[in-house]
Amino acid sequence: MSADPQATTLTPPELSVIVPTFNESENLPVLVERLRAALQGVAWEMIVVDDDSPDGTAEVARRIGASDIRIRCLRRVGRRGLSGACLEGMLASQARFAAVIDADLQHDETLLLPMLMKMREGATDVVIGTRYAEGGSTGTFSSGRRWISVTATRVANIVLGRKLSDPLSGFFMLRRDVVEGIAPKLSTQGFKILLDIVSTAGKSLRIAELPYTFSSRLQGASKLDTRVALDYAGLLLAKATRNLLSLRFIFFCLVGLTGIVVHFAVLWTGVTLLGLSFEWAQTLAIAVAIANNFALNNAITYRDQRLTGVNYITGLLLFYVISSIGAISNLSVGTWLFGHEQTWWLAGLGGAAMSVVWNYAVSSMMVWRR
């Protein structure tokens, strides 16, 4: 390759600041101002990773970038997810170090410089901005949210098998090549990118912590909701089982458990309140439980490929067919097991496991195929 002499005149920045955004058009200009002040003397850039926010955050980022080449925007369409956004931002960077910071000014940007100093010393792979160490604080967190956060942190440490004061922090800096190596193994769903990186990279990762105070959001609303919490539970389970169980399969099983509850509720209602015969009540219960499982799997397990309109109806019908075959295999495996080993619950469990695996494998291929 012949070198273009002009191409070598620009060196990549030392630090990329990755800012994931969803509806942060009002906060972004303020954050840029604060970064400019906080990072004087540093060769930095900012990559805004926006999931096509309806409030026009991407345009705001581009407008700022028009007069400041250090600021650019990666606009993702048809996708959502904080972890995936952070990951893509880090992978789009050329810098030696990358930091992730929220756009809503809850993180203290003046910590970026001390973080960078720490990274430059070379003995650290990741610096975490922590709310739970000496000198840090969760600021205006309500006691409820603080309890949830502290509990989630404890659980995370058990899964990690390592003691970190704030493994769920969304504010950290790392050597970018750490992420480059493990990127294909990281989950793109949910909020817990740091936890995922630390657990995937393994025990040899050298981690430092710097305390800060979590501020309240400047403008707009938080996107941390029940679905994000569910994702977190799934990630922990997947990690606890060393990725043996995928997030999707775990959700599929949890949905299956709700199906059992629905089944018995309908069965009870049919027999006691409606006075149906057992056969009819049982048939009704099966039909409702399958519809329940389909609806929940469509809304949670496969929400990224959710079926709507006509596709919802054909998907449901297909799911009925698959589940019926699953029920038959449940019965035959259960009967076979019971013939070998006269333990009713073991045979029942074996049959149920068979049908769950069948339903999962086939429906992921036929109902929610990409």
Q: Which residue, judged by CB position, is nearest to ligand GDD in the bound state?
A: 170
In whole angstroms, the minimum distance from the beta carbon of 225 to Mn ion comes to 12
Restricting to residues 100-139, which ones interact with Mn ion according to CB under 5 A? 104, 106
In whole angstroms, the minimum distance from the beta carbon of 332 to ligand GDD comes to 44
Q: Which is nearer to Mn ion, 104 or 109 (CB)?
A: 104
Restricting to residues 106-165, which ones interact with ligand GDD according to CB under 6 A? 106, 149
Q: Which is nearer to Mn ion, 23 or 298 (CB)?
A: 23
Restricting to residues 178-237, which ones interact with ligand GDD according to CB under 6 A? 191, 222-224
Query: How many other C-beta atoms can be found within 10 angstroms of the C-beta atom of residue 348?
Result: 14
Residue 18: which of ligand GDD, Mn ion, none does it interact with, CB under 5 to 8 A by kind?
none
Q: Which is nearer to Mn ion, 103 or 178 (CB)?
A: 103
Relative to beta strand 172-175, strand 97-100 is: antiparallel
Taking CB under 6 A as the rule, does residue 103 contact ligand GDD? yes
Taking CB under 6 A as the rule, does residue 82 contact ligand GDD? yes
Q: Which is nearer to Mn ion, 102 or 125 (CB)?
A: 102
In whole angstroms, the minimum distance from the beta carbon of 263 to ligand GDD comes to 35
Identify which range of 79-87, 235-243, 321-329, 350-358 contacts ligand GDD by CB under 6 A: 79-87
In whole angstroms, the minimum distance from the beta carbon of 126 to ligand GDD comes to 15
365: which 2 tokens?
């291929």
Instruction: Please state, in angstroms and rounded to a whole number, the distance separating the CA atoms of residues 296 and 258.
Output: 9
- Exactly one of 32, 39, 64, 85 binds ligand GDD (CB under 6 A); that residue is 85
74: which 2 tokens?
């990666």
Sites of contact with ligand GDD (CB under 6 A): 20-22, 24, 49-51, 80-82, 85, 102-104, 106, 149, 168, 170, 191, 222-224
Where does this chain bind Mn ion (CB under 5 A)? 104, 106
